[in-house]
């Protein structure tokens, strides 16, 4: 019943206007607008046409659980493709962890291109496994960069090394930080002899088609919620 509800709400979300977002990030859905959308329920314990909000309330009452519409995001493309990887999937389209990303061509479209579909699936799996925070090192917010630099410098100074050595230590740790958090800098989980940008470069040499990742999303059930510890 819960999975039926989740599937119907996700389908309805495709028709909801997303809120404005940065070009390199997933769009956030307007949840009040989504709650007002009518959906058709076809389950043995749920049937008829009701709003998303009414459906969620009904399922919560039947299950005796605190069920609520908490988050929603949209990833789309006009000339490229959206690739996905679902981890711990209970039903088609449903999972506990999902990775989404868009591959965009430099020219033309990617419709019907098998090589790009396979590449996208592998990269979406990478997103799930490697948990990147940013698309590229250039897109790491200045506030993050300043905070990490201060931490690394403080750690380096505590070693008692001279200032010129401290600067090199800080640069080295920042480089490692980018390799851990920026998608294009991360070691590819399928082949850790190359990073994700090198994977895209190798694809271009192999196929002659230049594609790039324009945005990505990793989403996991329960993340960001405070869990009560027994």
pLDDT at 192: 94
Q: Residue 45 in contact with residue 86, Cβ under 8 Å?
A: no
Q: What is the mean pLDDT of each run of 10 residues along the chain (230 residues)?
A: 95 88 84 96 92 96 93 91 93 94 91 90 97 94 90 85 83 92 97 96 94 95 75
Residues of the chain with CATH 1.10.286: 141-181
The CATH code of domain 141-181 reads: 1.10.286
Q: Residue 216 in contact with residue 101, Cβ under 8 Å?
A: yes
Count each helix (H run) and each strand (E run) in the chain, helices first: 7, 7
Is residue 84 helix, strand or coil?
strand
pLDDT at 38: 96
């Amino acid at each position: 019943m819960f999975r039926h509800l989740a599937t119907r709400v996700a389908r309805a979300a495709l028709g909801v206007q997303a809120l404005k977002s940065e070009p390199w990030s997933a769009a956030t859905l307007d949840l009040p607008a989504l709650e007002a959308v009518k959906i058709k329920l076809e389950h043995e314990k749920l049937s008829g046409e009701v709003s998303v909000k009414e459906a969620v309330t009904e399922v919560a009452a039947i299950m005796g659980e605190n069920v609520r519409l908490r988050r929603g995001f949209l990833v789309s493309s006009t000339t490229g493709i959206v690739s996905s990887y679902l981890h711990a999937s209970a039903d088609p389209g449903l999972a506990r962890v999902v990775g989404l990303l868009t591959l965009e061509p430099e020219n033309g479209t990617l419709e019907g291109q098998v090589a790009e579909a396979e590449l996208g699936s592998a990269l979406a799996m990478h997103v799930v496994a490697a948990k990147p925070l940013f698309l590229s090192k250039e897109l790491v917010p200045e506030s993050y960069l300043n905070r990490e630099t201060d931490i690394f410098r403080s750690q380096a100074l505590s070693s008692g090394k001279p200032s010129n050595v401290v600067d090199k230590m800080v640069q080295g740790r920042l480089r490692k930080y980018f390799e851990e958090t920026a998608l294009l800098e991360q070691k590819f989980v399928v082949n850790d002899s190359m990073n994700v940008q090198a994977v895209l470069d190798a694809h271009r040499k192999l196929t002659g088609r230049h594609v790039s990742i324009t945005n990505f999303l990793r989403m996991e059930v329960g993340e960001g919620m405070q869990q009560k510890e027994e």
